[in-house]
Amino acid sequence: MSIKLNHMIVFARDKKESAGFLTEIFGLAPAVPFGPFLAVQVDDVTLDFDEVENVPPGHYAFLVSESQFDEIFGRIKKRNLSHWADPFQQKPGSINRNDGGRGVYFKDPSGHLLEIITRPYGSGA
């Protein structure tokens, strides 16, 4: 049996706001309460949002199809969210073309840096 990530806890200042942001931007099913968490299903992995006062910023990268990229990036632009081509936020308002695909970084309401890419790193030109 191969090892697969099943779930992880994502700390947020406001779990309802952060879970709602992710489901709306990514076009996912609404979060479901699970104990103290709000669970968001992303393919085979569940992101369990939990509230904490001081949120350490994280980085969450999602591999998406070209059409999903267009949809998600369209929602980012529609909301006028700041976005960058790089994780250091030195290239604002643009996307990258790493490995022959497309990628972009943006922040969620708790300050986590979210990334969508259409090609895994190291997979292409």
Assigned token pair, 63: 């591999």
Q: pLDDT tens digits, residue range 27-57?
A: 999 999 999 999 999 999 999 999 999 999 9
Show me where the domains of the chain are located: 7-117
Taking residues 89-94, what's their average pLDDT? Answer: 98
User: In 9-99, where does DSSP find H-type helix?
Assistant: 15-26, 66-78
Q: The domain 7-117: what is its CATH number?
A: 3.10.180.10
Assigned token pair, 20: 């709602």
The per-residue pLDDT for 1 is 80
Say whether pLDDT at 125 is over 80.
no
Taking residues 18-28, what's their average pLDDT? Answer: 98
Cα 61 to Cα 47: distance, rounded to the nearest angstrom: 13
